[in-house]
Amino acid sequence: MTDDAPARVIAIDGPAGSGKSTLAQAVADRLGLECLDTGAMYRAVAFAVLRAGGDPSDGDFAAAVARTIDVSVDGGEVLVDGVDATVEIRAPSVDRAVSLVAANPAVRSELVALQREWVRRRGGGVVEGRDIGTVVFPDAEVKVHLVADAAVRAQRRVDQTGTAPTGGGPRGRTYDQEVETVAEDIARRDRIDSTRRASPLLKAPGAVVIDTTELTFEETVELVMGLL
């Protein structure tokens, strides 16, 4: 951990739809800590790139945006330059752009600094993302690597949001069609997030792997609490 690192950090990493956010919130509530969704920060930068008319694969442009915008994530609310973008960062266009932006090392170093600062100010936190245990807080008190069967992850996403993230699918589509669309988007993002050069999604040394495919939410929370 860095010199000024806080005493209590719980790191939760895993692929899209593995249940990180709900788990992180539940663990944070139990511990009286706040939780940080670092994916929301990458989404905020992708949103700002698109809003500025930029190409998400233009590395210099995305890096300049990451350096100049003001991103604040607090209690589930995301502000970009002081304007609430909590809903907009979940738009299908951002789903499509965010993996490209997150693969950019310059964007990552800006956001990693912000994430460490967020935790430092609060004296700890439950932090979830892809590189928390490997890069951002390698000395976290507990590191969890969540995994779940891809089909189950897609189903959970659809059950949670009721819409397909990539298509903005017409509601007339069947449940199975929505799950299929979501599964394709998740598979695409998993591929980019796990194979990129900068901080790919990997199991951190010392991380405990929890496969939630056959676990209930409560069982998963209890398992994590048991690690503390």
Q: Where are the alpha helices (DSSP H) in 144-211?
A: 150-161, 175-195
| Between 8 and 130, CB nearer to ligand DC | 130
What are 89's two structure tokens?
């960062």
CB of 95 to ligand DC, least distance (A): 8
CB of 16 to ligand DC, least distance (A): 4
Running DSSP on this structure, what letter comes out for residue 1? -
CB of 224 to ligand DC, least distance (A): 17
User: Strand ranges (DSSP E) for the chain?
Assistant: 8-13, 35-37, 71-74, 77-80, 83-84, 124-129, 142-147, 208-211
CB of 172 to ligand DC, least distance (A): 26
Round to whole Å and give the CA distance between 62 and 124. 29
The residues of the shown chain that bind ligand DC, judged by CB under 6 A, are 16, 38-39, 42-43, 98-99, 102, 129-131, 189, 193
Q: Which residues of 163-178 are buried (b: 16+ CB within 10 A; e: fewer)?
A: bbbbbebeeeeeeeeb
Judge contact between 126 and 12, C-beta under 8 A: yes
| Between 94 and 221, CB nearer to ligand DC | 94
Residue 198: phi and psi, rounded to 5, are: -85, 115
| Between 159 and 222, CB nearer to ligand DC | 159
175 phi-psi bin (left φ>0, alpha ψ -120 to 50, beta other): alpha
Judge contact between 10 and 126, C-beta under 8 A: yes
| Between 30 and 90, CB nearer to ligand DC | 90
| Between 42 and 47, CB nearer to ligand DC | 42
CB of 44 to ligand DC, least distance (A): 10
| Between 42 and 118, CB nearer to ligand DC | 42
CB of 174 to ligand DC, least distance (A): 24
